[in-house]
Amino acid sequence: MVKNGGDGMQRLTQATVIGIVEERTALQIVSVELNENREIGQALYYAAGAMPCRVGDQVLVNTTAVRQGLGTGGYHFIVSKVGAEEADYLPNAWGHIVKMRYSPLQLTVPAVEEEESPHHSLFLERATETLQHVPVVIGELHSLLPIICLAIHNMEHQQSRPLRVAFVMPDGASLPIAISRHVHQLREQGMLVATVTTGQAWGGDLEAINIYTGLLAARHVAQADVIVCLLGPGVAGTATRLGFSGMQLVEVMHAAATLGGVPLVVPRISFSDQRDRHVGISHHTITMLSRHLLLPVVLPLPVFSDSFQSSWVEQQLYLEGILRRHAVVRKKAPDVDALLQLQERYPLLIETMGRGIAVDPTPFQAAYCAASCAARLGEAIASGDASLASDLPPEALVPYYADWLNRAM
């Protein structure tokens, strides 16, 4: 029997709101004073759109994350106001699909598939059960989202109209999308035309029951030229072969491939991580691509100026059989100065695992290369490039488009 360690699974207490720190469309960050010990902290509140907090409000606060030292930025989470009458904290016009099911915080959302949805008919037709060869950029680290979007919208990829980029967030990490500052900022800057939350994740512009319909919604409802699918903030790892959040991305890769999209996987690469299992290509990427993926994917691979780094990565891929199983597209990695210029166009700090571009450029170079490939392919598909495949089955798309990218890039 596994016994509780004594710190508790869920810690709740009452607090008083003493200040408003930040307000977004669907989120407030407030200062609170815990009633039990007068400790001061900050708390996130997701019902801000309908029932915003005000100074003096009594609230029920979940303090578990702070007490356990989890990576939430030191935030508590407000469950609800105390003493208020029954109210609809997250109103919507017609949603009946329950997310966070059978938990004290379950809520109903307007899922794109349900009968009341104006998009319901899209999910009845075989003709719209396809991604129409649209590229799907798939990666583990949410912190790479800004570089991916900035790279897609970079000058070298501009055409007669900007590419429409949609972000799909599955439920392998954070569930409320509102916690992501990057998503909020990229929506503000117009770099994302829509967000889709799938499974138990919630709060996107569009809600979907699973990753398959979520990807289809991104293509047919949001009219995306490029789809980006990364886990939300807060991935988990256990230093075991399979015990990490990114394993959910295997399903995403399968979904993108079987729906007739082109899955482009962002390899997790670092030469600054102190953990041996994450040096070069992380064991997370290797595990997914070498052992558990049943269909080939496109693997955009940065060619680094440091030949030692490129040789290290190539050897990893060779030894694990990944070069035989998947379609590699090699692309010269952007230099650090080019990445820092992208950072200048973006108001939030871009870093991953606590390391910025100058300290650990390789994960950002890998993300940039994948995004560049997706942009080039998305641009060609949107313009009706006659050189692209038309009637190939899903299993033939990946090698065809990898060869096309190797010639086009």
pLDDT in tens, 109-148: 999 999 999 999 999 998 899 999 999 999 999 999 999 9
Distance CA 114, CA 116 (A): 6
- Kindly state whether residues 199 and 292 are assigned to the same domain: yes
Give the angle subtended at the CA of 189 by the CAs of 53 and 131, to the nearest 5°: 105
pLDDT tier for residue 87 given thresholds of 50, 70 and 90: confident
* Longest alpha-carbon distance in the chain: 68
pLDDT at site 409:
77
Amino acid 138 reads I
Residue 113 is assigned to a structural domain of this protein: no
Mean pLDDT of the chain: 91
Residue 375 makes CB contacts below 8 A (sequence gap 6+) with 151, 152, 154, 157, 163, 226
Residue 115 is assigned to a structural domain of this protein: no
Distance CA 73, CA 140 (A): 19
Give percent of the chain above pLDDT 90.
74
Averaged pLDDT for residues 266-275: 88
Residue 155 makes CB contacts below 8 A (sequence gap 6+) with none
The alpha-helical segments, DSSP class H, found in 136-270 are 145-152, 181-188, 211-220, 248-258
Exposed, middle or buried by CB within 10 Å (0-12, 13-18, 19+), for 49?
A: middle
- Kindly state whether residues 179 and 244 are assigned to the same domain: yes
Would you state the structure tokens that stand for residue 328, as one six-digit string? 């590699």
Exposed, middle or buried by CB within 10 Å (0-12, 13-18, 19+), for 69?
A: exposed
pLDDT at site 3:
38
Averaged pLDDT for residues 70-80: 84
- Kindly state whether residues 268 and 364 are assigned to the same domain: yes
Q: What's the DSSP call for residue 258?
A: H
pLDDT tier for residue 5 given thresholds of 50, 70 and 90: very low
191 near 150, Cβ under 8 Å?
Answer: yes
- Kindly state whether residues 224 and 340 are assigned to the same domain: yes
> Helix, strand, or coil here: 131?
coil
Would you state the structure tokens that stand for residue 307, as one six-digit string? 């030949």
- The CB density around residue 275, as the number of other CB atoms within 10 Å, is 12
The alpha-helical segments, DSSP class H, found in 237-306 are 248-258, 283-287
pLDDT tier for residue 96 given thresholds of 50, 70 and 90: very high
pLDDT at site 193:
98
pLDDT tier for residue 155 given thresholds of 50, 70 and 90: low
Single pTM value for the model: 0.93
- Kindly state whether residues 206 and 295 are assigned to the same domain: yes
**Confidence check: pLDDT of 218 > 60:** yes
CA distances from 296 to 90, 168, 263, 340 (A): 41, 21, 9, 33
Distance CA 309, CA 249 (A): 25
Residue 105 is assigned to a structural domain of this protein: no
Residue 138 is assigned to a structural domain of this protein: yes
Q: What is the pLDDT of residues 276-307, one digit of tens each?
A: 788 889 999 999 999 899 999 999 999 999 99
What CATH number does residue 69 fall under?
2.40.50.220
pLDDT tier for residue 8 given thresholds of 50, 70 and 90: low
Residue 35 makes CB contacts below 8 A (sequence gap 6+) with 13, 14, 15, 16
Q: What is the pLDDT of residues 365-407, one digit of tens each?
A: 999 999 999 999 999 998 888 677 767 877 789 999 999 999 9
Averaged pLDDT for residues 319-346: 95
pLDDT at site 275:
84
**Which residue segment(s) compose the domain that 272 sits in?**
125-408
Residue 99 is assigned to a structural domain of this protein: no
